[in-house]
Amino acid sequence: MPERDARVAVVTGASSGIGRAIALALAADGADVVVNHRDSDARAREVAELITRSGRRALVVRADVSDRTDVERLVAQTLDAFPAIGVWVNNAGADILTGEARTWSEDEKWDRVMAVDLKGTWLCTRAAAAAMAERAGGAIVNISWDHVLSGMGNATAAIYAAAKGGVLAMSRCLAREFAPRVRINVVAPGWIRTKWGEGADEAISRSVIQATPLGRWGKPEDVASAVRFLASAEAAFITGEVVVVGGGVVMS
């Protein structure tokens, strides 16, 4: 469960996929949850409704994590509603694999992923850590990618690796900077059945399963379980670490 003296969790990009699973998992562990989204208000409110049905409080806040003003507002609105932030999960990420984004130039994809995944994590981590350090402390979990540890040979993967590798390296620096009041760790998911995976053709689906020692695609809930642990008091002596949730495709 979240830190005993701070039962409020903020999850960025929480309207669907991995973020949704994380928000629901933290609520199940007793946290009140701030459900952040950029442009998915209806889905974010569905997540919030599920949280309130479970007996916890939920607050929906629209904010673009790549924008400093929006991040500052996200923190301020959270602290207006709750006395402190105990857990912050930087899950928001740019989708350049589905929809119109698939047609963007490499430069456009690069700029978007760097703005959301890397700069957004930077802005949110610093803002959240500062707010936590002023109060009871807390735990931050940043989302990276398992293949930053091994590489993958295509241009889109290189863009993701540059951003998510930056998240991993940056998180370890921030963990040292904000210790001991704030713990900062990383979860690195592998092949997880989110929007892109659900639309993958049969050949791709089979190839992922064949390449995975545990013999299946990951689920958003698998990632959420790792986040729950790192955000909990059971991980009170862990900081600056990475947990790979990829079924063994990449072993760190």
- Of the pLDDT bands very low, low, confident and very high (cuts 50, 70, 90), residue 49 is very high
CA separation for the pair 11, 143 (Å, rounded): 11
**C-alpha of 125 from chain center:** 11
Q: Which residue ranges form the domains of the chain, and what is each CATH number? A: 8-245 (3.40.50.720)
- Of the pLDDT bands very low, low, confident and very high (cuts 50, 70, 90), residue 5 is very low
The predicted pLDDT at position 94 comes to 95
Nearest to 23 by CA among 58, 53, 73, 55: 58
The predicted pLDDT at position 195 comes to 77
> The tokens of 178 are what?
């904000």
- Give me the catalytic one of 82, 88, 110, 160: 160
pLDDT in tens, 59-69: 999 999 999 99
Instruction: Based on the residue annotation, tell me whether 160 is a catalytic residue of this protein.
Output: yes
The predicted pLDDT at position 23 comes to 98
Quick one: DSSP state of residue 54?
T
The predicted pLDDT at position 3 comes to 40
Q: Which contiguous run of DSSP H or E holds residue 116?
A: none
CA separation for the pair 85, 101 (Å, rounded): 33
* Interacting residues of 123 by C-beta distance below 8 A, sequence separation 6+: 65, 66, 68, 71
Q: Rounded to whole angstroms, what are the CA distances from 171 to 30, 79, 178?
A: 26, 23, 10
Please compute the mean of the pLDDT values over residues 82-93 and round it to a whole number. 97
